[in-house]
Amino acid sequence: MKSHEITRRWVDYFVSKGHTAVPSASLVSSDPSLLFTVAGMVPFIPYLTAREEPPYPRATSVQKCIRTGDIEEVGKTARHGTFFQMCGNFSFGDYFKEDAIKFAFELLTKSVDDGGYGLPAERLWVTVYEEDDEAERLWLTHTSIPPERIQRMGKSDNYWSTGQPGPAGPCSEIYYDRGPAYGIEGGPAVDDNRYIEIWNLVFMQYQIENVRSKVDFDIVGELPKKNIDTGLGMERLAMILQGVENMYETDQVRPVIDKASELSGREYTSAETADDPHHADDVRMRVVADHVRSALMLIADGVTPSNEGRGYVLRRLIRRAVRAMRLLGVEKPVLPELLPASRDAMKGVYPQVEKDFDRISRIAYAEEKAFLRTIAAGTTRLEEAVKLSRASGTALSGEEAFTLHDTYGFPIDLTLEMAEEAGVPVDEAGFRSLMEDQRTRARADAKEKKSGHADLSAFQELLAEGPTVFTGYTELDG
Ligand code: ATP
Ligand code: MG
Ligand code: MG
Ligand code: MG
């Protein structure tokens, strides 16, 4: 089942259950405290927190999301994209736990001929919050999930709150068992790769106060209007329904992997574990496919590369994609080949990526060119350093790797790879410790600035002017 069919069925089902279909909001969140829309519920926050009267009691959406916090997982797990689409159904003081559970189970297991997704119920596992007896009872009463496939989890996994006083409540998550080839038996509590989380049901039920941390607060009462907020990862369901190994191989992402493979002449093999000799290359191709798509969608929503905030995230995504292609041996500009492949995979659902492609591609290609210039300058310096190291039989020093990174914006993984190719080891520990020192200094500066001891704004502006200097602070590994 193709992605567009999955989302069509989603909306049809929930509209048939009285929900209003609400189009995806922009990736650029209207909530100033968030850089990006990170979940389907973000556009509904005013209704969920009862700050505004909802125009409808139930809603459904397929929301574009960006989660930069997952960037290090991309390509390594089967299930984390920086961009993904979250299918959601929402109740604002209308239906609650029982219907949320019934809807989810019905849609997932209903036959494909009948408008559902046709997942075998025997493959589904469920988690509930450890004190939520009600949720467990509802799963047992209204679905065919047996007690042995329901696991209880603590606050850190199965409790939702914003970390602020306000609404909060337990969650119940639905997992799909991919089978023994993917890991050990025992349910999601023991293996999150074999048992893939597909859908999170949040039951906003309580008012919390005295919030000491995300898991430590006082429940002061029940909410007068209880809400439902759910999120299903469209790409995760697509990976199951399309019978592929991971979300990067689904129909909206895979074409870019194929393009990356064609450009680099390296075969893509779906390698899953690091002991597989193809793993490093396969991860790179998955990273490329993910990041190119995220860049496409971010620029489409009005983000442009810069040295801070949203633009910096975009810059980092483009640089990481370009760098991954270099590590695959491709040194010429790659976005003119990869971006159209991503556009073609996405335009069916998001026609604006085609209509606006002139503008989008101009921004992306210029950013790649600028980065390639940066790399060229760094390469010259690196080659000199490698020559000296080889002549003296020493490792390339941590200081040199740090200068390359900090002053030339030359990513550490390229330094490692190119030095290794030349048979010269790099003092990576030395590099890491210099990075750590720099971070400590940056934190101290920030603290000082905050406490008002020094006004560093002029200094910060100066830093931001240099195209490469700033990256040292926030870009962990280049
Ligand atoms: P995980 O534990 O796998 O990281 P999560 O618990 O962080 O997922 P939620 O915040 O519950 O995810 O989001 C709701 C749903 O959105 C998840 O059940 C999943 O299907 C999907 N989802 C979350 N993060 C991603 C991501 N980075 N890429 C693709 N889908 C995602
Ligand atoms: Mg997560
Ligand atoms: Mg989770
Ligand atoms: Mg979750």
More confidently predicted of 109 and 408:
109
Is pLDDT above 80 for 54?
yes
Among all bound ligands, the one having the nearest atom to the CA of 230 is: 1
232 lines ligand 1 (CB under 6 A): yes
pLDDT-derived band at 472 (thresholds 50, 70, 90) equals: very low
User: Can you give the pLDDT at residue 477?
Assistant: 38
User: Can you give the pLDDT at residue 409?
Assistant: 84
**Cα-to-centroid distance, 316 and ligand 4 (Å):** 26
231 lines ligand 1 (CB under 6 A): yes
DSSP string, 41-97: TGGGHHHHTTSS--SSSEEEEEEEEE-GGGGGGTTTSSS--SEEEEEEEEEESSS-H
- Nearest residue (CA) to ligand 1, atom 19: 233
pLDDT-derived band at 31 (thresholds 50, 70, 90) equals: confident
User: Can you give the pLDDT at residue 447?
Assistant: 67
Average pLDDT over residues 46-67: 96
**Cα-to-centroid distance, 109 and ligand 4 (Å):** 20
- Nearest residue (CA) to ligand 1, atom 20: 233
Q: What is the mean pLDDT of the chain?
A: 91
Q: Which of 9-13, 57-61, 106-110, 410-414 has the lowest mean pLDDT?
A: 410-414
Check if the interface score ipTM surpasses 0.85: yes
- Nearest residue (CA) to ligand 1, atom 3: 197
More confidently predicted of 162 and 446:
162
Which of 22, 12, 199, 230 is CA-nearest to residue 114? 12
The model's pLDDT over 355-405, given as tens digits with 9 standing for 90+, comes to: 999 999 999 999 999 999 999 999 899 999 999 999 999 999 999 999 999
User: Can you give the pLDDT at residue 30?
Assistant: 80
Rounded Cα distance between 39 and 104, Å, is: 18
pLDDT-derived band at 236 (thresholds 50, 70, 90) equals: very high
User: Can you give the pLDDT at residue 459?
Assistant: 30
Backbone φ, ψ for residue 125 (5° rounding): -125, 160
Helix (H, G, I), strand (E, B) or coil at 456: coil
Helix (H, G, I), strand (E, B) or coil at 385: helix
Which of 257, 251, 204 is CA-nearest to residue 74? 257
User: Can you give the pLDDT at residue 468?
Assistant: 29
Q: What is the position in ligand 1's atom list of the atom closest to the CA of 82?
A: 27
- Nearest residue (CA) to ligand 1, atom 25: 80
409 lines ligand 1 (CB under 6 A): no
The residue assigned the tokens 């893509």 is 268
- Nearest residue (CA) to ligand 1, atom 9: 200
DSSP string, 154-185: -HHHHEEE-SSSEEEEEEEEEEEE--GGGS-S
User: Can you give the pLDDT at residue 57?
Assistant: 98
Count of Cβ atoms closer than 10 Å to residue 70 Cβ: 16
The model's pLDDT over 119-134, given as tens digits with 9 standing for 90+, comes to: 999 999 999 999 999 9
**Cα-to-centroid distance, 151 and ligand 3 (Å):** 13
Is pLDDT above 50 for 451?
no
User: Can you give the pLDDT at residue 445?
Assistant: 76
User: Can you give the pLDDT at residue 85?
Assistant: 98
- Nearest residue (CA) to ligand 1, atom 26: 80
- Calculate the alpha carbon distances from 418 to 289, 320, 381, 426 in Å: 23, 16, 12, 10
66 lines ligand 1 (CB under 6 A): no
Which domains does the chain carry? 3-241 (3.30.930.10), 252-474 (no CATH)
> Do 144 and 181 meet the contact criterion of CB atoms below 8 Å apart?
no
User: Can you give the pLDDT at residue 457?
Assistant: 35
Among all bound ligands, the one having the nearest atom to the CA of 39 is: 1
**Cα-to-centroid distance, 328 and ligand 4 (Å):** 33
User: Can you give the pLDDT at residue 128?
Assistant: 98
Rounded Cα distance between 154 and 158, Å, is: 6
